[in-house]
Chains A and B, each alone.
Chain A
Amino acid sequence: MDEQFWTYFWVVLTFGTYIGIAIWARAGSTDDFYVAGHDVHPTVNGMATAADWMSAASFLSMAGLIAFMGYGGSVYLMGWTGGYVLLALLLAPFLREFGKFTVPDFVGDRYYSTTARLIAVVCALFVSFTYIAGQMKGVGVAFSGFLGVEFNTGIMVGMAIVFVYAVLGGMKGVTYTQVAQYVVLIFAYTVPAIFISLIVTGNPIPQLGFISNVKGEDISMLGKLNTVVTDLGFLEYTQTDKSMLDVIAITGALMFGTAGLPHVIIRFFTVSSAGAARVSAGWALVFIALLYTTAPAVASLARLNFIDTVNEATYITSDADYDTEAAAIVAEGGKPIPKWFKDWEKIGLLEVTDKNGDGVVQYRAGADNEVTKLDRDIIVTANPSIAGLPAWVIGLVVAGGLAAALSTAAGLLMVISSSVSHDLCRRTFFKGMTDKQELLTARGAAAGAVVLAGIMGMNTSALGFVAQVVAFAFGLAAASLFPVIVLGIFWKRMNREGAIASMLTGLITTFWYIYHFKFVDTDASHWWLGVSPEGIGFVFMFLSLTVGVVVALVTAPPPQDIQDLVEDIRVPGTRTPHGIADAEMLPD
C-alpha cells in the first residue's frame, strides 16, 4: 500500500537520523549529560525547547479539541503560550544565573534544606511520570493505528529509540535530536494546514485564512462556521458553555503550570548566560507560536470542511466498487461519502450508524446524529487526506506525531534521571560520589526510567485515564513549584519554613481536589465555585503563595549567605559562591 510505504519511509528515515545524532552528540561528563555543557546556542535551544514542550497532545489532539470546543479551546492556546512570558521574565534568566543542574538544586540550596529539596524532587518526579506515560501511549497509538504494528511492540520500538539517545547522549544528545524533531513536526503540521486553508478560503497562510472569507463567497469563514454549526444544533463556534471563572482558572493553571514544569525550566540551563536564557525563551515561543497560531486555523477550517463533505453524504458500503458507486451518486446530483472517511472508519476513529435507514449520513447535535463515533484526533490525522494531499505527506504526519511524542518523552526522562542521580544520590544520600559515578548513575536512572515509562504506557491504555491525570501535572507545577521559585528570586526574606509550608500546601490541596473530583465524586455541579479540576491549580497557587509568605514572616529570616546569593542571581555576571548555599556544589 502506497501510504503504508511512505509512512514506513518517513518513520525509518527520521528514526535513523535521531540515532545518528545521538552517536555524534555523546555526553562525556555530568556537565554534558545534565546541561549539554552550558554551551547550546540560544536559537538552537529555543527550537529544542519547542520540541521538548510540544507533546503528542499538542500535535495530534489540540486542534481537534479546539475544533469541537470552539472558543472554549482558547484556554490551551493562551495557557500553553502565555506561560513562556512568565518563564522569560520571572524564572529562566535567574535560574541560569544561579548556575546549577536541576530545579530541586535551586529549591534545596536557596532554602538551605534537604526537606525542601526532597519535596521538590517528589513534585518533579510526579509531574514527569504523569506526563511521560501519555507520550509513550501516543507512540503506541501511532504505531498500532498507522503501521499495523501491535500497540505494545510500538511502545517498545519507541522506548528503544529514546533509550539510545537519552542514555547515550544525555541532555546533549536530547538537545540536538529535539532540533531535528522540531523540523519534522513543524513541517508535518504546516504543510497540510496550508492546503486546507487554500481549499476553504483560497489563502495559503492558515493564520490569514482564519480571518478571511470563504472562497468565492461573501461571508467570513468563521461567520459561516457559526451559521453551519448552529443550524445543526451545536453551540456557536465563537462561544463556550464554560463559565468565565473556569476559563480564567484553566488558562491560569496552564500558564503558571507551564512556567513551573521542570522539563521546560532545565532547558534554559543549557545556554551560556542569563542574557542567552532570555533570548532563548523568546525563540522558543516563536517556534511554538508557529504551531500554536496554525492550530486554531486548522481547527475551524477542518471543522467546516468536515461538515461540508460528510453531512448529507450518501454512504457507500462496498470498498471494491467505491469509485463506480461514487460516480453514480455524483451523476444523480448527490454527494458520496469521501474515501478518507471510509479509511478512518477502518482504523476506528470514525463510525456511522444509519439510524433512519435512508442511506445518507446526518451529522448533528442530539439523538438523531448518525456519526456515532468521531475521535477528535481526526482533525489533524485525517487533514492531509481530507485535503487530497499526496501519500508522502500523509506518511509524514505519522512521523511528525512520533517526533512530538519522542522529543517530549526524552526531555522528561532527563528530569527523572537527574532527579535520581543528582538530587537524590549526589546531593542527598551519597554526597561523596565522584563525577564519574554520578554520570554512570545518571545513565542507569535514564535507562530505568525509559523502561518504567514504557510499562506505564502499556498499562495506562487499559486504565484509560492518561488525559485525566495530565491535569495533575499542570496543577501541581503551578501550585507547588512556581510559587517557591518566584518567591526565592523576588523576595529575599522568603525562608526555609515558608518554602516547605508553601510547597506542601500546593501539593496536598491540588492533589486532593483533582483526585477527589476526577475519581471519587465526578459530579461537576459539586466543584468549588464551578472551578474544574483542570483549573484548580491556579486557585491553590494563590493559597500556596499566601501560606508561604505568612509562615516566612513569623519565622526567622534566611541566613546572610542566602540573602547574598539572591542578590547575586538578580544581577547577571555577579554570581560568586556563598557559604551554606554553595558548600556542596559550586555554581557554574
Chain B
Amino acid sequence: MTHNIKEIDAKGYWRDVVKLTLSLLAIWFIVSYGAGILFRSVLDQVSIGGAPLGFWFAQNGSIYVFVGLIFYYCRAMNRLEKKYGVEA
C-alpha cells in the first residue's frame, strides 16, 4: 500500500477496464441470449455432433464460454495492472 494515488493514471486505467468489461459482456450476451435464445432457430439448422447448435449453446456451449471469459478477464486485467503500475 505504498502507492500514492497521484502516481497512477487512475482515469486511463479505469477507462481501459470499462472498455474491456463492455467487450467481454458483449460476448457474454451473444453466446447466451444471442446463440441460445434469440437466434437459436437459425443455429439449430446446423449440428454439433448430434445436437442442434442453438440448443447446444443454450445447454452446454454458453457455459464453456462463460468459464473462458472469466479467465481471459483475469489475464487481461493483470496486463492492464502491469501497464498502469497498479498493484492488485
Contact = CB atoms under 8 A, between A and B. Distances in A.
Interface residues on B, range: 35 or more
B85 to A, nearest CB: 10
Contacts of B51: 210-211, 220, 222
Contact of B73 (A74, A89, A247, A274): A89
Interface string B67-88: 1011101100110010000111
A89 B21 CA distance: 6
A208 B49 CA distance: 9
A210 B52 CA distance: 11
Interface residues of B: mostly helix, strand, loop or mixed?
helix
A13 B10 CA distance: 52
Contacts of B5: 567-568, 571, 574, 576
Nearest to B7: A574
Given A78-B32, A278-B70, A572-B81, A211 B3 contact: no
Interface string A204-221: 000110111100000111
Interface stretch (A144-152, A285-293, A338-346, A352-360): A285-293
Contacts of A90: 21
Of A84, A208, A211, A286, chain B has the most CB atoms within 10 Å of the CB of A211
B46 interface: no
A316 interface: no
B64 A71 contact: no
A212 B14 CA distance: 46
Contacts of B55: 71, 74, 222, 238
Given A85-B70, A275-B78, A571 B52 contact: no
A84 B70 contact: yes
A179 to B, nearest CB: 20
Given A210-B51, A220-B49, A296-B60, A85 B28 contact: yes
B26 to A, nearest CB: 11
Interface residues of A, number: 54
A530 interface: no
A450 B67 CA distance: 34
Contact of B66 (A85, A219, A244, A567): A85
B42 interface: no
A570 interface: yes
B58 to A, nearest CB: 4
Contacts of B70: 84-85, 88-89, 278, 281-282, 285
Interface in A295-309: 296
B74 A278 contact: yes
Given A208-B49, A210-B60, A238-B55, 10 more contacts: A71-B59, A74-B59, A84-B70, A220-B51, A238-B44, A273-B88, A274-B88, A278-B73, A572-B87, A573-B1
Q: Which 8 A-B residue pairings sit nearest by Cβ, starting from the closest?
A: A220-B50, A211-B49, A275-B88, A74-B58, A282-B70, A573-B87, A296-B59, A572-B88
Interface of B: 1, 3, 5, 8, 10, 13-14, 17-18, 21, 24-25, 28, 32-33, 36-38, 44, 47-52, 55-56, 58-60, 62-64, 66-67, 69-71, 73-74, 77-78, 81, 86-88
